[in-house]
């Protein structure tokens, strides 16, 4: 059994014009998603998990000039697929995902993590929502126009 912590972040990276960054998974070609990742330590603040995962997966600095990272206050609890449960301690069957938005000043160049992703695309939010395989990711992107107006 593994030691992965069943608490993760989903970070919808977007521009002021609502272009969304999507990444194609290396372990599932054709499956597109926003940045995701689990806490490394039980006491790791979720904001730090976001910053670390964004940097690891895209090379972008979430604390950089013109960037705004926001906790959307959305929590999704879902069952971990049986084929991935070996990554977690014995008996762990569910994960809690915390949704964040990261506004960047423009569609920036990205340095993908080749072990995790094959390619990236900046897409209009509607197209991005239609391309994601995860329903929680789809729902988060669909909230973007309302959240952008509030922000």
* Residue 151 scores a pLDDT above 80: no
Residues present in the chain in total: 151
The CATH architecture to which 7-150 belongs is: Alpha-Beta Complex (3.90)
Domain boundaries in the chain?
Answer: 7-150
Beta carbons of 44 and 98 less than 8 angstroms apart: no
Over residues 128-147, the mean pLDDT reads: 96
The pLDDT of residue 126: 98
How many Cβ atoms sit within 10 Å of the Cβ of residue 72?
16
**Which residue, 134, 128, 119, is CA-closest to 25?**
119
DSSP 8-class letter at 84: G
The DSSP bridge pattern shows strands 7-14 and 35-38 to be antiparallel
The DSSP bridge pattern shows strands 94-103 and 68-79 to be antiparallel
pLDDT digits (tens, 9 = 90+) for 87-132: 999 999 999 999 999 999 999 999 999 899 999 999 999 999 999 9
DSSP 8-class letter at 126: H
- β partners of residue 121: 22
CA torsion sign, 57 to 89 to 72 to 48? Answer: negative
């Amino acid at each position: 059994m593994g030691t992965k912590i069943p608490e993760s972040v989903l970070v919808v990276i977007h521009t002021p014009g609502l272009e969304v960054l999507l990444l194609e998974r290396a372990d599932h070609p054709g499956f597109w998603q926003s940045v995701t990742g689990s806490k490394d330590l039980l006491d790791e603040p979720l904001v730090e998990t976001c910053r670390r995962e964004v940097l690891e997966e895209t090379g972008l600095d979430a604390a950089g000039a013109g960037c705004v990272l926001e906790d959307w206050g959305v929590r999704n609890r879902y069952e971990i697929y049986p084929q991935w449960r070996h990554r977690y301690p014995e008996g762990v069957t569910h994960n809690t995902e915390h949704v964040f938005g990261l506004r960047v000043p423009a569609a920036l160049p990205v340095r993908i993590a080749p072990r995790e992703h094959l390619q990236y695309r900046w897409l209009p939010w509607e197209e991005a929502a239609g391309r994601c395989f995860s329903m929680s990711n789809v729902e988060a992107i669909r909230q973007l126009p309302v959240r952008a107006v509030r922000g």
